[in-house]
Amino acid sequence: MGGPAGEPGGSAPDGEAAGRPAGEPGGPPSAGAGASALREYRVEDLAAEAGLPVRTLRFYRERKLLPPPRREGRIAWYNEHHLARLRTIAALLDRGHTLHGIADLIGAFESGRGVGELLGLPGSSEVRWSEETPVRLSPEELADHFEGQVTTENLQASLDLGYVALDGDAVVHVSRRLLEASGALVDEGVPLAAVLAAARRVRVHADALAEVITGLLRTHVLGGLLDHRDGEQPLSPAELGRIREAVERLRPIAEVVMDAELAMAMERRISAALDGRRGEHGGGTREPPPAEGVSPPPGRS
């Protein structure tokens, strides 16, 4: 079997062909190893498991599509993450992606934020407003969700917005609702690049709205609890509890306000657009002529 076009030929051993039986020092974990231990493979075993020639695997390594293996002397040990990466590459190739494009996608993911930072896990915030549900996807599932539009540029835009991050071999999207909304817009014919560009604009306005709401919270609800406080001084459990309770009370109120204001703004925009279209076609808001024998109102001709 041959590898991808342009791969280096030959399969001379580089120390990867030899390995130690499971359970021996330096070898892969034995069947009795801890449940959290990753199974490890020699290069031939990994290639066989992935259904690839050994030289294709080496080609992927040279193209930096695979992370480096664990080395023990001249022996290279691969694990289940390498196998998952090989399966992802195969799936993306089947979907029409090129090796160059896949390398760019992998590079964009690996330069992005970790899932802990993306989701605001412990250490980043002790009071949460958002109740969004994150979604785990394989890279190929993400490609299927936005068929033909998961480009390096769109992926980088998603990373910059904080929508996605890489968690091991999975992609984590921060919000199921935003993922589904983005997919629905793409299904309506809006390019994913346009959706992400609009998201950047929405983010600016959303941050401004959040500033208004938190200003009300700080000034009128928390009574200056957060003002004039040393940034190094942690909040007491009682103070944190008070803030959490305030957030729980205000969240539904703020959501109602935002929903109602957006609905009215959309109605104004749609009405203005329709009125403008009528005006362009000579209709506008002109009133019909008075009935025969009826004089027009004063000031009208």
- Rounded to 5°, the CA angle 159-164-170 comes to 125
Amino acid sitting at position 98: T
The SS3 call for residue 71 is strand
State the pLDDT at residue 221.
Answer: 86
Neighbour count for residue 231 (Cβ, 10 Å): 5
SS3 79: strand
**Tens-binned pLDDT, residue by residue, of the chain (301 aa):** 444 444 444 444 444 444 444 444 445 544 444 445 678 999 999 999 999 999 999 899 888 888 889 999 888 999 988 888 888 888 778 877 788 878 877 776 666 554 444 444 433 356 677 788 889 888 888 888 888 888 888 888 888 888 988 777 778 898 999 999 999 999 999 999 999 999 999 999 999 998 898 888 888 888 767 665 565 677 778 888 888 888 889 889 999 999 999 999 999 999 999 987 776 665 544 555 554 554 555 554 4
Look at residue 127 and give its three-state secondary structure. coil
d(CA 128, CA 120): 9
Q: How many residues are given for the chain?
A: 301
* Cα separation, 301 vs 298, whole angstroms: 8
Closest CA to 119 of 133, 138, 105: 133
Domains defined along the chain, listed by start: 40-94 (1.10.1660.10)
Neighbours of 278 (CB within 10 A): 13
User: Which two three-digit tokens encode residue 153?
Assistant: 């540029």
DSSP bridge pairs for 70: 77
What's the longest Cα–Cα distance across the chain?
109
Which pLDDT value is given to residue 263?
96
Q: What is each CA distance from 167 to 113, 116, 119, 125, 223, in whole angstroms?
A: 10, 9, 11, 20, 40
What is the predicted pLDDT for the residue at 283? 54
Q: What is the pLDDT of residue 176?
A: 93
Q: Which two tokens stand for residue 227?
A: 């003002």
